[in-house]
Chain A
Amino acid sequence: MSDTTQSSPVLAADGRPLKHSLNRALRRQKMRALALILPLLAFVLLTFIVPIGQMLFRSVQNDIVQNTLPQTVIAVQSWDANSGEAPDEAAFAALAADFKTAVENKTHTRVGSRLNYETPGISSLFRKAGRKAKRWDLETDGPFKEQFLDIDEDWGDPAIWRTIQKFSPPVTSGYFLNAADMQLGDDGVEFRPENQQIYITLFKRTLFMSMIIMGSCILLGYPVAWLLANLPSAKANVLLILVLLPFWTSLLVRTSAWKVMLQQQGVINDTLVWLGLVGDDARLVMINNQFGTIVAMTHILLPFMILPMYSVMQTIPPTYLRAAKSLGATNWTAFWRVYFPQSVPGIGAGSILVFILAIGYYITPELVGGTKGVFISNRIAFHISSSLNWGLAAALGTILLAAVLILYWAYDKIVGIDNVKLG
């Protein structure tokens, strides 16, 4: 090489330095790739990520008290919650004024039911007061403290006012505390009374049952994956169809099939009775309890365990096992020390996938779980569609989502999301 080429930059055909041209080409390539991705990314962000974010925000959102009772919120700020008495006339007058506007907009019942989540009984107080407040004249009908106490003695109860004061900020931790069976008591955070604690039990049950489902999927999936990986491919492909058919069959078909199989007059009980193993009057109860949920969900999620295990086991050379045995290992040692460690990535991938899918399940527990076999998802659905306590549903959902995202992150680290294989 001559010296000149080293000192002056290499030029492209159009006379620009080659480095610039290459950079420009690279930039254009990047832009083109991004342009291809952008429509989908925008679509997913707009119709999926943003709605979920909005929904999660509901778990702390509490502007309803401030928006509906603006004057009361200000008036009650100066009241000493530990004084043991209701606030003075100013607060009641502010409340009366707020009620007047709220009743016109018909929003007072909504605040009532919001505060009722925290202190039961408030909802009816608000409804009763709303009926009277419609006819009040703010100028002449005072003093309002007596008016309110006339409607219901409970308006003099400091507990009611403490609740209003505590939930006047636009952001609240109340829903999250509720989701963890706690509440904002008079002296800070405390556990709810024993008979109102349901969510921790429900979370524990969801985790525990997902673990059992995952464990039984490993137990049932491992032998099948091993068999598929070690058979000649023609036979393995035929058997693989038996795994893929349930995978492709509608979830509701499989759930209804399990309903048919497990119920008291169902196929399994009939067979057992016919065989004489179980008396006709002592048919097994296998549905509408935890057992039903576990069996049906193990069946539904088993393909998700077998497929990743199979794809990992396919890459393990069978010669290793033979080599171990010819070096003097027993059957068990050869399997445990040589084969099993190599198949662990498959078990990990399958387990996380099954666990992620299991803890968020809704349909199957709803249909075969009864009351004892339901998951946290069923409670979320209940709060969204029946009890309409959306904030609590959002808080429960946030906790569930956080758990799933941690597992998702772990899955990405261990397996890599690009390596997910279907079928």
Chain B
Amino acid sequence: MALTPVTPSSTSFTASTTAAAGAVAGLFIGTSQGNAFLGVIIGALLLAVIAFVALQMRDREKAIRWIILAGFALAGFLMGGLSAGIMGALFGWFFGWFIFWIGETRYRATLVPYLTPGQVLWHYGFRVICGAIFVFLITPILVVLPLSFNAQDFFTFTPEMLRLDPEGYSLKHYRDFFTSQDWQLSFRNSVIIAPIATVISVTLGTLAAIGLSQSHVPGRRAIMAILISPMIVPLIISATGMFFFYSQMGQVLENNLGLSKTFVGYVKVVLAHAVLGIPFVIITVTATLVGFDRSLTRAAANMGAGPVTTFFRVQMPLILPGVISGGLFAFITSFDEVVVVLFVGSARQKTLPWQMFTGLREQISPTILAVATILVVISIALLTTVELLRRRSERLRGISPT
């Protein structure tokens, strides 16, 4: 969408801007090769010449951009092998795009016409800053993924990995995860505990959220504050409180009801995790209920449906997206929880995060990175589900995304 009619910039402006960009790139490559000053000079000159030549043949843009890309890729490959070649191709793609973006004044086309040059510069400078923050947010998660395929027992990129040598990569950490008794036990425990805790918190939480959303609830604010408190109270305090409470409760259950120690252990951890998940269910379900049209339940009652029928046939289908995303929040809370399970559980209830925690503190093994990768994939799946549900809920409630 072009807001502003643009005319091509002057060649000298384009060449000098591109030269500045080249100087920055040259600075990095120069420092890594041992001579920063020479790098800056070569980078600036090279890019100025390329920009000058490219702008003489503006009408053959596509071909020129391919040539620049191929040239940079080849130069990188000759300097440092396959991975440097890929880096070079990226640089080439960027510079090819940059020359024409500046040269054809495309940067101006999507902005409103009355901006001053300073404002245009700030507009893009601001986007670069935001980009850097996004990189900060996402890099740690992305770095883990390739490292989990490391063939060595290192937490860092080996020279083989940087050369993209297949020898440097292997699935051995994944194999270790799937064959190690410790990891398998903890994985099974996580898969047992999280869903049960989620079911408890979703059932109780949804009922309570429905109760809370009615008009005329005495002490609504106080009740809400109590129900949200597990999210606010520092986990270490919850954990110590539960530690004493559940050790007493566990003894009572074991001695009086004759239940096995393992079973009681699971009950303790499940109940503790259920409490921690409740605030998330309450918050998401009440948010969904705010947009719920109360006259629908009255209409259902009017046509002879009892409260139970009304709930399952009218209310539930409408608030289901909120309930499910609340449930997913509760699930991830339990699945990700380590402090409380450290205090309440015993070695038999060791969960995945617990195993990762001891792994990180005591024996640092790269199997953790394989587990981390699996968990990242799981969280991407959960995030996608929640996003889709949110959109569906908005559609159902007639709120179109603005």
B119 at the interface (CB under 8 A from A): yes
Query: Bound state CA distance, A38 and B390, in angstroms?
Result: 29
Contact of A423 with B360 at beta-carbon distance under 8 Å, contacts A51-B242, A362-B236 already known: no
Q: List 11 A-B contacts (CB under 8 A).
A: A37-B217, A52-B237, A53-B241, A244-B387, A245-B138, A299-B136, A299-B137, A360-B235, A381-B240, A412-B225, A420-B228
A201 at the interface (CB under 8 A from B): no
B369 at the interface (CB under 8 A from A): yes
Q: Which of A33, A58, A255, A356 has the largest count of B CB atoms less than 10 A from its CB?
A: A33
Asked whether B357 lies within 8 Å of A404 as measured between CB atoms, the reply is: no
Stretch at the interface among A67-75, A88-96, A157-165, A268-276: A268-276
A119 to chain B, nearest CB (A): 26
A198 at the interface (CB under 8 A from B): no
Please classify the interface of chain A as helix (H, G, I), strand (E, B), loop, or mixed, using the class held by over half of its residues. Answer: helix
List the 7 closest pairs (A to B, CB-CB), nearest first.
A360-B234, A36-B211, A51-B245, A257-B140, A52-B241, A40-B208, A51-B241
Contact with A along B224-249 (1 / 0, CB 8 A): 11111110111111101111111000
Asked whether B217 lies within 8 Å of A260 as measured between CB atoms, the reply is: no
Stretch at the interface among B60-68, B169-177, B283-291: B283-291
Query: Bound state CA distance, A328 and B380, in angstroms?
Result: 47
Q: How many A-B residue pairs have CB under 8 A?
A: 274
Asked whether B137 lies within 8 Å of A246 as measured between CB atoms, the reply is: yes
**Across the two chains, which residue of chain A brings its CB closest to B122?**
A331
B362 to chain A, nearest CB (A): 11
Give the chain A neighbours of B336 by CB distance below 8 A. 250-252
A417 at the interface (CB under 8 A from B): yes
A300 to chain B, nearest CB (A): 10
Asked whether A422 lies within 8 Å of B284 as measured between CB atoms, the reply is: yes
Asked whether A239 lies within 8 Å of B208 as measured between CB atoms, the reply is: no
A55 to chain B, nearest CB (A): 4
Contact with B along A46-64 (1 / 0, CB 8 A): 0111111111101000000
Query: Bound state CA distance, A244 and B385, in angstroms?
Result: 12
CB within 8 Å of B: which A401-415 residues: 401, 404, 408, 412
Asked whether B236 lies within 8 Å of A381 as measured between CB atoms, the reply is: yes
CB within 8 Å of A: which B198-235 residues: 204-205, 207-208, 210-212, 214-218, 221, 223-230, 232-235
Give the chain B neighbours of A246 by CB distance below 8 A. 137-138, 140-141
A420 to chain B, nearest CB (A): 5
Asked whether A367 lies within 8 Å of B383 as measured between CB atoms, the reply is: no
Q: How many residues of A contact B (CB 8 A)?
A: 94
Stretch at the interface among A139-147, A177-185, A392-400: A392-400
Give the chain A neighbours of B225 by CB distance below 8 A. 408, 412, 417
Enumerate chain B interface residues (CB-CB to A < 8 A): 28, 31-32, 34, 36, 119, 122, 126-127, 129-130, 133-134, 136-141, 143-144, 147, 154-157, 204-205, 207-208, 210-212, 214-218, 221, 223-230, 232-238, 240-246, 271-272, 274-275, 278, 280, 283-284, 286-287, 325, 329, 332, 335-336, 338-339, 343, 353, 356-357, 360-361, 364, 368-369, 372, 375-376, 379-380, 382-383, 386-387, 390, 401-402
Query: Bound state CA distance, A43 and B28, in angstroms?
Result: 60
Stretch at the interface among A103-111, A188-196, A219-227: A219-227
Asked whether A256 lies within 8 Å of B136 as measured between CB atoms, the reply is: no
Q: Which of B137, B244, B339, B380 has the largest count of A CB atoms less than 10 A from its CB?
A: B137
B387 to chain A, nearest CB (A): 8
Enumerate chain A interface residues (CB-CB to B < 8 A): 26, 29-30, 32-37, 39-41, 43-45, 47-56, 58, 220, 223-224, 227, 233, 237, 239, 241-246, 248-261, 263, 265-267, 270, 274-277, 299, 302-303, 331, 356, 359-363, 366-367, 377, 380-381, 384-385, 390, 393-394, 397, 400-401, 404, 408, 412, 417-418, 420-423
Give the chain A neighbours of B387 by CB distance below 8 A. 241, 244
Give the chain A neighbours of B271 by CB distance below 8 A. 47
Query: Bound state CA distance, A105 and B353, in angstroms?
Result: 40
Give the chain B neighbours of A275 by CB distance below 8 A. 28, 31-32
**A260 in complex: contacting residue of B147, B274, B339, B390, CB < 8 Å:** B147
Query: Bound state CA distance, A123 and B86, in angstroms?
Result: 68
